[in-house]
């Protein structure tokens, strides 16, 4: 995938939007590992769907790239789209 010069893959989750995390099973229940959302690339904008991160961050600030920008990047990389 070709990325704009100002965007990079999230270094925390390697662009997947989630990674294995450790959770507690409650008081005295021990711990377990499960996939959880990436805190670095998660888009916390209301209505964005906070379960999974976008997988991309801005290079200068390492802030998450909004899903709308990710959709534009996907459209830019779509080989079926023919530029007029």
Position 78 scores a pLDDT of 84
Would residue 83 count as lying in a domain?
Answer: no
- Whether the per-residue pLDDT at 76 is higher than 80: the answer is yes
**62: which 2 tokens?**
């390492």
**What is the C-alpha separation between 23 and 34, in angstroms, rounded?**
7
Q: Which domain holds residue 55?
A: 7-77
Q: pLDDT at position 52, please?
A: 76
User: How many domains, the chain?
Assistant: 1
Do residues 56 and 40 touch, judged by C-beta distance below 8 A?
no
2 located within any domain:
no
User: Does residue 82 form part of some domain?
Assistant: no
pLDDT tens, residue by residue, 10-57:
999 999 988 998 888 888 788 888 888 888 998 776 665 556 788 999
> Taking Cα atoms as reference points, which of 15, 19, 5 lies closest to residue 58?
5
Q: Where are the alpha helices (DSSP H) in 1-84?
A: 67-77
pTM over 0.95: no
Query: Does residue 84 fall inside a structural domain?
Result: no
59 vs 49, more confident: 59
Residue 60 has what pLDDT? 95
Which residue in 46, 39, 62, 64 sits closest to 54, CA to CA? 64
């Amino acid at each position: 995938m070709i990325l704009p010069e100002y965007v990079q893959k999230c270094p925390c989750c390697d662009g997947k939007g989630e990674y294995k995390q450790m959770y507690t099973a409650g008081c005295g229940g021990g711990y377990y590992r499960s996939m959880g959302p990436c805190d670095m690339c998660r888009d916390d904008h209301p209505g964005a769907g906070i379960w999974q991160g976008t997988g991309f961050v801005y290079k200068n600030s390492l802030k998450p790239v909004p899903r709308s920008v990710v959709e534009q990047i996907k459209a830019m990389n779509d080989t079926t789209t023919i530029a007029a």
